[in-house]
Amino acid sequence: MKLCVNVGMAGLALTLALPSSPLSAQTFRTDDPLLRQMWTEGMERSQTAPLAQALLDSIGPRLSGTEGFYSAVRWLQNRYEEWGVPVRREQYGTWRGWASGILHVDLLSPRVRTLETHLLAWSPGTNGPVEAEVVAVPEFGPGQDVDAWLATVRGKAVLIAPPQLSCREPQAFERLAREATVERLSTRQRDVDRSWAERLTTLGGQNLVSRLEEAGAVALISSRWSNGWGVNKVFSAGTETAVGIDASCEDYGLLARLADNGQAPRIRMNAEGEVTGEQPMYNVIAELRGSELPNEYVLLGAHLDSWHAASGATDNGTGTIMMLEAMRILKTVYPNPRRTILVAHWGGEELGLIGSRAFSEDHPEIVENLQAAFNQDNGTWRIDYLQAQGFLDAGGFLAKWLAQVPEEISQHIELDVPGPQEQGGSDHMSFICHGVPSFRFQSNYPDYRQYTWHTNRDTYDKIVFDDLQNNATLAVMMAYLASEDPQRVPRTRSVLPPGQNGQPRQWAQCRQAPRSSN
């Protein structure tokens, strides 16, 4: 374990690295037999791989309001019931439903090519194959009639995003390209981005989609490259009549170059998508009732919903499996905790932390009596960072608990106390804003952000199962130690570091959870 102590607002840091050693009896710094049993169950009898395969391969993505999400809810309930763990689903509201199927987009001319595309979430479909010419939003000169151009787009597919001049990852240019080459390409890309920003603003800005739909465009094609090989971030369409399509970085660039050079690209689209109205949304809550302090709580959480272009493996299938496996181990080794232990699989995190915010609103008695909450929401790799989220005295409890975790796990973790506090992020914020000690198990971020976070490449193969079972075992041990601690974790707040104005940042504020998509 590494200890990073932030001293005052100046942010002075002291890092203490504890020596590591091979896994042995000496890695347990206590004689607690339950910790040893938790290690054996979590590291030697792990069920993370079969659980992940069932969730990610068989069920797949779990977009709010879709059958994938509801299948995952039922699957979680069935697993807990098989293990004898009390479980419930709690409806917190509704969200826009969507039934989607295949999407196939082919370039027909000036040559034939099947394009790599994804249907954007909540997009309508095509009602069978549709052919259309592809056009790009043009540069509008002074006095040029925008309405006159709009009159030409009926029945066409419109490109509405700037193309990338290169789809190589930036790291490749840093390693291999000349500095002058990188600068020249960066300058040209900035010019392209600026030009497209002006085009879209002139065409309608925030009203762009509605103007193109009113003009009769049959599809709006965009591309949100994630700065990696073959990877795009894929979100929602925002269309009501036109099909919303994401095209891969290079396939989008191909269409843009053909259109810009007057080569009249033409595509055929077959998209299955239907918005199905408001559908119920749930949190899934599993519970081991406390034997001594049943009205005090330890909460493990991870969001169940995902975006839809891949399997939602690292965002947040890994968190879901981590907490599911943690409860399996707890039920096996520690079925009668001192405090009540809850595992929450949140809905609607991708839409603004909706499920966890609703839970904190609906259960003030739990919020009031939470000993500690632990959340996980960023992919594979071992947990390597844990901060006290601005709680002045919580760091001592985290350090005390981590000191009892085997070095095989704890040696990788930097503990940051009291910590600068995140001002966004994930479901732990739904409790921090109420002044509840709520912490985030955080793994390495850079390649997650670049390659799997909200992308078309967030698939089962990206999981490192050695690390996932490590993380599940950590969660079990921290929940157990928090449950057994004779003291309550204080809620004293520190002064947060300065913001851009040089003044201390304000404590995170709670926002009311929207209970529907209307």
pTM exceeds 0.75 for this model: yes
Which backbone phi and psi does 210 adopt, to 5 degrees? -65, -35
CATH fold of 100-274 reads Glucose Oxidase; domain 1 (3.50.30)
C-alpha 274/C-alpha 126 separation (Å) is 10
Residue 26 pLDDT > 50: no
Residue 14, pLDDT > 80, answer no
pLDDT at 22 > cutoff 50? no
19-86+289-484 and 100-274 agree in CATH topology: no
Residue 350 has pLDDT above 70, yes or no: yes
State how far the Cα of 76 lies from the Cα of 64, in Å rounded to an integer.
Answer: 16
User: pLDDT (tens digit, 9 = 90+) per residue, 91-105?
Assistant: 999 999 999 999 999
State the DSSP code for 9: T
- Does residue 172 surpass a pLDDT of 70? yes
Asked if residue 24 has pLDDT above 70, the reply is no
Domain boundaries, the chain: 19-86+289-484, 100-274
Looking at the predicted structure, is the pLDDT value of residue 21 above 50? no
- The fraction of the chain above a pLDDT of 70, given in percent, is 95
Angle at 298 between CA 293 and CA 304, to 5 degrees: 140
Domain spanning 19-86+289-484: CATH superfamily: Zn peptidases (3.40.630.10)
Residue 16's pLDDT is 39
CA 229 – CA 165 distance, rounded (Å): 14
pLDDT tens-digit readout, 379-422: 789 999 999 999 999 999 999 999 999 999 999 999 999 999 98
Q: For position 27, what pLDDT does the model report?
A: 61
Quick check: helix, strand or coil at residue 374? strand
Angle between helices 394-402 and 465-484 (to 10 degrees): 120
From 12-26, 97-111, 494-508, the region with the lowest mean pLDDT:
12-26
Q: Which residues contact 269 (CB under 8 A, 6 or more apart)?
A: 103, 104, 105, 126, 129, 130, 131, 132, 157, 218, 219, 243, 245
Q: What mean pLDDT, rounded, does the chain reach?
A: 94
Using CA atoms in the order 378, 383, 388, 389, what is the torsion angle rounded to 10 degrees? -10
- Confidence at residue 13, expressed as pLDDT on a 0 to 100 scale: 38
